[in-house]
Amino acid sequence: MQFHSRATEPDWRFPLRASTPGRLRHVHAPLDVGDASVNKHSKLDKFSVDRSCPLTQSALGRGPEHLVGVGFRCWLKGYETGEIGCWEEAWTAYSNTLGTADAKRALGDLSCWVQAIRGHAQRRIETFPPGCRGFCRDECVAISMIASCQHNACPAMRACAFTLLGCPAIDEVVQGAESFAATLRSVSQVLSPASICSVAQYALPQSHATH
């Protein structure tokens, strides 16, 4: 993997090397959601995962859901902080599960999806710190969006997009999600239908959700 400036995304033509000295600056061991450092960073108490997460914990414990949630979190944090370690944490999770070639392909699509979200979002998207075991509400909605794509649940997918972005300009984000979901399916990472959550109560009013 080649690295550029602090705020530049890694060059995905080359695999990350976690053993390279000085490059794992932001990778943490898994933290319990009640850990004080997590609470200080996210301002959430130890019960917040269950209260704010629209998905069941059983669904979130599955491998495909974990990949989507961790990838979404780490990619957003990488752009937000400029820390290469955030992207390296995602690379480790994907390469350990998919192998180098498929991980690069999946992360390429993940990157396009997250960039589209960043480019169109009209609200601050919240994530838990890298390494946290649980997922917050926005991370769960992102997981649900990919699950909806894989199971052709178009209304749920669009509701998730509206919820994440806080605006009706969802087309590019939807296209990115569909590409990412298809790539995950092609490498046998299919999310459960149970991961499609109802976010209707969080979506924009219909009067604001039209082009």
- pLDDT score recorded for residue 129: 87
d(CA 127, CA 10): 21
CB contact at 8 A, 140 and 54: yes
Task: Dig out the tokens for 9 from the structure.
Answer: 């995304």
pLDDT digits 0-9 by tens, 156-194: 999 999 999 999 999 999 999 999 999 999 999 999 998
Largest CA distance in the chain: 53
Identity at 68, one-letter amino acid code:
V
**Mean of the pLDDT values across residues 112-140?**
91
**Mean of the pLDDT values across residues 131-153?**
92
CB contact at 8 A, 65 and 191: yes
Q: How many CB atoms are located within 10 Å of the residue 182 CB?
A: 12
d(CA 184, CA 195): 15
pLDDT digits 0-9 by tens, 146-157: 999 999 999 999
pLDDT digits 0-9 by tens, 10-50: 554 334 433 333 232 333 323 233 333 333 333 443 334 43
How far the first Cα of the chain sits from its last, in Å, is 41
Instruction: Give 13: exposed, middle or buried? Use CB within 10 Å, 0-12, 13-18, 19+.
Output: exposed
**In whole numbers, what is the pLDDT of the chain averaged over residues?**
75
Q: List the chain domain ranges.
A: 60-208
pLDDT digits 0-9 by tens, 51-85: 445 555 545 668 999 999 999 999 999 999 999 99
d(CA 184, CA 136): 22
The whole-angstrom distance between residue 13's C-alpha and the CA centroid of its chain comes to 21
- Local structure of residue 61 (DSSP, 8 states): T
pTM (predicted TM-score): 0.72
Dihedral sign for Cα atoms in the order 165, 50, 190, 152: negative
Q: Place 101 in a pLDDT band, splitting at 50, 70 and 90.
A: very high
